[in-house]
Amino acid sequence: NAGVTQTPKFQVLKTGQSMTLQCAQDMNHEYMSWYRQDPGMGLRLIHYSVGAGITDQGEVPNGYNVSRSTTEDFPLRLLSAAPSQTSVYFCASSDRDSFTYEQYFGPGTRLTVT
């Protein structure tokens, strides 16, 4: 199993540009989430999904869109990048049927908006 994969690892955008951060998991997990991590802070939830076709907002959803057309993929779209979106983005997945409900994280995408 590759686990949770994220692409790209690094990205630099100019203000106003749009882009999609990719996230995929091969563990057949129902739950997937996107978090952002800013310096000195914990992770904050952006959007999450409890299964294909179902998404919901987290704590900081503004400026981001998600969709979940398959169990495996959960892309995060930045509509019009702003310097405040400079952050490290983590995708995570967890198994609804797992007794442990552990969240597995991808390696992260470091995004800089200039």
Partner 1 sequence: GIQVEQSPPDLILQEGANSTLRCNFSDSVNNLQWFHQNPWGQLINLFYIPSGTKQNGRLSATTVATERYSLLYISSSQTTDSGVYFCAVGTTTDSWGKLQFGAGTQVVVTP
Are the CB atoms for 69 and 55 separated by under 8 Å? no
Which is closer to partner 1, CB of 85 or CB of 94?
94
C-alpha 50/C-alpha 12 separation (Å) is: 30
1 near partner 1 (CB under 8 A): no
109 near partner 1 (CB under 8 A): no
Which is closer to partner 1, CB of 33 or CB of 85?
33
102 near partner 1 (CB under 8 A): yes
C-alpha 70/C-alpha 22 separation (Å) is: 13
Choosing from 19, 43, 52, 82, the residue that interacts with partner 1 (CB under 8 A) is 43
Residues lying near partner 1 in the complex (CB under 8 A) are found at 31-33, 35, 40-45, 48-50, 56, 58-59, 88, 90, 92, 94, 96, 100-105, 107-108
